[in-house]
Amino acid sequence: MSQLPLLTNGLADLRKQLNEHSYRYYVLDDPSLPDAEYDRLFRQLQALEAKHPELITSDSPTQRVGSTPLSDFPSINHQVPMLSLGNVFDAEGLQAFVKRVEKELTDLGRALLNEELEFCCEPKLDGLAVSLIYQNGQLVQGVTRGDGQTGEGITENLKTLRSIPLSLRSADNQSLPELLEVRGEVYMPRAAFEAMNEQARLADEKTFANPRNAAAGSLRQLDSRITATRPLEFTAYQVAQISQDFAVETHEKAMQSLKNWGFKISPDLKVVKGYSGLQNFCDALAAKRDQLPYDIDGAVLKINDLRLQAELGFRAREPRWATSFKYPAQEEITRLLDVEFQVGRTGAVTPVARLEPVQVAGVTVSNATLHNMDEIVRLEVRIGDTVIIRRAGDVIPQIVRVVLEQRPTNTQSIIMPTSCPICDSHVERAEGEAAYRCTGGLYCPAQRKEAIKHFASRKAFDIEGLGVKLIDQLVDNELVKSPADLYKLKVEQLANLERMAEKSANNLLEALEVSKKTTLARFIYALGIREVGEATAANLARYFGQLETLKQVSVEQLLDVDDVGPIVAQHIYAFFNEPHNLTTLDDLLAQGIHWPETQVRREDLPLTGQTWVLTGSMQNLTRDQAKEKLEALGAKVAGSVSKKTSQLVAGEAAGSKLTKAESLGVPVMDEQQLLELLASHTG
Ligand code: JCF
């Protein structure tokens, strides 16, 4: 029992480390630990807490997994109403907003003394507003906006979001406010949303129309364990209440306090002056909109001075001191004119929607992806239907739903063709796959074109001047049937094609000649083996070193390569055992394609067979760089120390791993020794 205080301290220390990592990761976007190390510490905490449940605290990071389902959400009155924001849509509206606040301030006796008014600006996230109450630094309540006066208590759900601190962070044990009410937006980043929908599609489950609906659906779960599995984030945007001693003068400073207490605030938060500053901010953000990792529907513009905000106050349903500049919607309504079937590189026959052209968030959209036949069934979409389409970021526009109330009488159902629309080969569906495929292989001109486009692309053979239009002509005129045929082309053949002349033909032949010198990794990638992207191709090249070896590997050997799972291994194995493909390979090599034989076979590398572990911080290289260099020398780099560890590299402030290595007798070296070792092998 005398060990209990020691254990309590150990637990507190682990929690502190984990929380600090979460803060670095979610708030500062500057992770301090590799994910594997975080997971290891997390499991350590879980194990200790399982042995001593009496020592679990409500703010432990392990408590974010959700708890037993509620029967419904309590109704909770907001202490301060959650108002909406006014809108402006263009420069005139924005100018009118600035004029109005200036006049109101002048009327209040606030002469502006030629000083331009300061505004604090940020993106308007397209999610759901929530309010969080912290008492003495502890999260005690989380509520949805509801109608602005009353919302639903969803504390348990909100606690599962890693970007919501369960207790406020206090650097150097500074005191915390007795009361803090923070408001912000819960949303789902676009990539996580797409990935979640893709999973759902594969599992034949319900998909969400957009990230906002996905976030709403995830927060509305009575079972917080479900919410815990959803990739939701929280960004704080407002201090609604705070104990007197902690009040600051500007909105910007309030946001800075929130950041220090552990909240994520917008990375695009900016203070600007006057109308022109606002206009510049809104324009710059609009230009950046597609590149942001989340959906936004505008910019929020607030007077920065909190005293001026207080003096201006509110009108019926919105503050006088803020507005939002709205951008064009990312969803629009249009009509599905037709569905065509496209054949991809791997023969997948995919339905593509032809739409009545419509402007979506500033771009004319006339095509949208329909993914596969299952998606068509799920959407219950028919040709002629009125549909809602969504375009966000660089994702291909999608049909999100059919407006059944506006279905015309003469709609037609969408039917997968039984033969390839390009080569007439049989179309079939492999068991367990959503895709239908043309069985024509490289006899199918569509697959041939795609294979050659892939072969010539930047990350493959990078053949300058060999564009999509030219490839179409080469295949249509039967000048090129396989990639190797590219290297047999003659000036006269090329010069006769559309948009080509002798000069461009010669340039292309020269580019083809240059492309013959490549690397094994590019060569493997260029073959277009299913599921073998750039990274896997590089791993294969590094692991096997030679094309000959790769031709003879077994599925088991392939499974030893990083990133290669059973399905990919099967695709690779099948590729190299298909006689057609072997002919293509020989044909390519006969054209003079070559690469430096510097790639060393894995068995011959200096650190082959060794397992290394890195710990502590290093001065001259990052953990990832060290890992990459060690792996290049053949070592495996693991996350934890065991009897099997060959060598531990201990940087500064190395902790438990160093202790463990010493107790197991694992050799330890410092950063300097590592650098010397690396230099001795690369010098
Ligand atoms: O990101 C948002 N959706 C957002 C909404 C950002 C803000 O700064 C807001 C808001 C709603 C009200 N500020 C207020 C006052």
Q: Which residue among 235, 238, 263, 302 is best mutated to probe the pocket of ligand 1, counting the most ligand atoms within 8 A of its Cβ?
A: 238
Burial class (CB in 10 A: 0-12, 13-18, 19+), 377: exposed
pLDDT value for 509: 96
Q: Is the CB of 236 under 6 A from ligand 1?
A: no
Q: What single-letter DSSP state applies at residue 458? A: T
Cα 635-640-644 angle, rounded to 5 deg: 60
When pLDDT is averaged across residues 491-518 and rounded to a whole number, the result is: 94
Q: What single-letter DSSP state applies at residue 383? A: B
Identity of the amino acid at 448: R
Q: Is the pLDDT of residue 432 over 60?
A: yes
Q: Is the CB of 215 under 6 A from ligand 1?
A: no
Q: Is the CB of 11 under 6 A from ligand 1?
A: no
Q: Which residue among 185, 251, 258 is best mutated to probe the pocket of ligand 1, counting the most ligand atoms within 8 A of its Cβ?
A: 185
Q: Is the pLDDT of residue 310 over 80?
A: yes
- E strand intervals along 344-477: 348-360, 363-369, 386-390, 398-402, 427-429, 436-438
Q: Is the CB of 119 under 6 A from ligand 1?
A: no
pLDDT value for 682: 66
Q: Which residue's CA is minimally distant from atom 7 of ligand 1? A: 237
Give dist(CA 333, CA 389) in Å, integer: 6
Atom of ligand 1 nearest to the CA of 235: 1
**Residue 405 vs residues 178, 378, 624: alpha-carbon distances, Å:** 53, 17, 55
**Residue 470 vs residues 392, 467, 495, 515: alpha-carbon distances, Å:** 31, 5, 11, 17
Q: Which of 99, 124, 259, 488 is catalytic?
A: 124
**Residue 408 vs residues 335, 365, 388, 398: alpha-carbon distances, Å:** 10, 22, 15, 21
Helix (H, G, I), strand (E, B) or coil at 194: helix
| Least confidently predicted of 15-29, 446-460, 619-633 | 619-633
Measured in residues, the chain has a length of: 683
Task: Report the separation in Å between the CA atom of 23 and the middle of ligand 1, taken as the mean of its atom positions.
Answer: 22
Q: What single-letter DSSP state applies at residue 209? A: S
Give dist(CA 393, CA 250) in Å, integer: 33
Tokens of 645: 């560890």
Atom of ligand 1 nearest to the CA of 127: 3
Q: Which residue has the tokens 């059973």?
A: 566
When pLDDT is averaged across residues 1-13 and rounded to a whole number, the result is: 79
Q: Which residue among 82, 130, 183 is best mutated to probe the pocket of ligand 1, counting the most ligand atoms within 8 A of its Cβ?
A: 183
Percent of the chain with pLDDT over 90: 74
Give dist(CA 195, CA 176) in Å, integer: 39
The whole-chain average pLDDT of the chain stands at 92
What DSSP string describes 480-536?
Answer: -SSHHHHTT--HHHHHTSTT--HHHHHHHHHHHHHHTB--HHHHHHHTT-TT--HHH
At residue 327, φ and ψ (nearest 5 deg) are -95, 165
C-alpha torsion 175→179→180→186, nearest 10: 120
Task: Report the separation in Å between the CA atom of 70 and the middle of ligand 1, taken as the mean of its atom positions.
Answer: 29
Q: Is the CB of 500 under 6 A from ligand 1?
A: no
CB 463 within 8 A of CB 512: yes
pLDDT value for 647: 94
Q: Is the pLDDT of residue 568 over 90?
A: yes
pLDDT value for 599: 52
pLDDT value for 423: 94
pLDDT value for 603: 62
Q: Which residue's CA is minimally distant from atom 5 of ligand 1? A: 124
Task: Report the separation in Å between the CA atom of 141 and the middle of ligand 1, taken as the mean of its atom positions.
Answer: 20
Identity of the amino acid at 590: A
Q: What single-letter DSSP state applies at residue 265? A: B
| Least confidently predicted of 133-142, 472-481, 592-601, 652-661 | 592-601
Helix (H, G, I), strand (E, B) or coil at 359: strand
Q: Is the pLDDT of residue 515 over 90?
A: yes
Q: pLDDT for 71-122, tens place per residue?
A: 899 999 999 999 899 999 999 999 999 999 999 999 998 877 678 899 999 9
Task: Report the separation in Å between the CA atom of 126 and the middle of ligand 1, taken as the mean of its atom positions.
Answer: 10
Helix (H, G, I), strand (E, B) or coil at 412: strand
pLDDT value for 86: 93
CB 202 within 8 A of CB 45: no
Q: What single-letter DSSP state applies at residue 422? A: T
Atom of ligand 1 nearest to the CA of 82: 12
Confidence of residue 439 (pLDDT cuts 50, 70, 90): very high
507 HSE (CA, 13 A, CB side): 8
| Least confidently predicted of 100-104, 174-178, 454-458, 616-620 | 616-620
pLDDT value for 536: 92
Q: Is the CB of 85 under 6 A from ligand 1?
A: yes
CB 80 within 8 A of CB 241: yes
Task: Report the separation in Å between the CA atom of 631 and the middle of ligand 1, taken as the mean of its atom positions.
Answer: 47
Q: Which residue has the tokens 């609604």?
A: 240
Closest CA to 190 of 215, 157, 165: 215
617 HSE (CA, 13 A, CB side): 5
Q: Which residue has the tokens 């024509």?
A: 440
What DSSP string describes 646-672?
Answer: -EEEE-BT--HHHHHHHHHT--EE-HH
Atom of ligand 1 nearest to the CA of 124: 1
pLDDT value for 39: 87
Please enumerate in sequence order all residues whose Cβ is within 8 A of that of 300, keeping only pairs 6 or more positions apart, or say none.
Answer: 85, 121, 122, 123, 124, 237, 322, 323, 324
Give dist(CA 557, CA 659) in Å, integer: 36
Task: Report the separation in Å between the CA atom of 302 and the middle of ligand 1, taken as the mean of its atom positions.
Answer: 9
pLDDT value for 36: 81
Q: Which residue has the tokens 């901010």?
A: 281
Give dist(CA 45, CA 263) in Å, integer: 23
Q: Which residue's CA is minimally distant from atom 8 of ligand 1? A: 237
Task: Report the separation in Å between the CA atom of 131 and the middle of ligand 1, taken as the mean of its atom positions.
Answer: 12
CB 612 within 8 A of CB 641: no
Q: Is the CB of 124 under 6 A from ligand 1?
A: yes
Task: Report the separation in Å between the CA atom of 500 and the middle of ligand 1, taken as the mean of its atom positions.
Answer: 55
Closest CA to 640 of 673, 666, 608: 666
pLDDT value for 173: 78
**Residue 126 vs residues 94, 330, 362, 545, 645: alpha-carbon distances, Å:** 20, 11, 18, 49, 48
pLDDT value for 602: 58
Q: Any catalytic annotation for residue 124?
A: yes
Task: Report the separation in Å between the CA atom of 185 and the middle of ligand 1, taken as the mean of its atom positions.
Answer: 8
Q: Is the CB of 185 under 6 A from ligand 1?
A: yes
Q: pLDDT for 235-259, tens place per residue?
A: 999 999 999 999 999 999 999 999 9
Tokens of 65: 């997994």
Please enumerate in sequence order all residues whose Cβ is within 8 A of that of 312, keeping only pairs 6 or more positions apart, or say none.
Answer: 101, 104, 105, 108, 303, 319, 320, 321
Tokens of 342: 């496209």
Q: Is the CB of 300 under 6 A from ligand 1?
A: yes
pLDDT value for 105: 93
pLDDT value for 601: 58
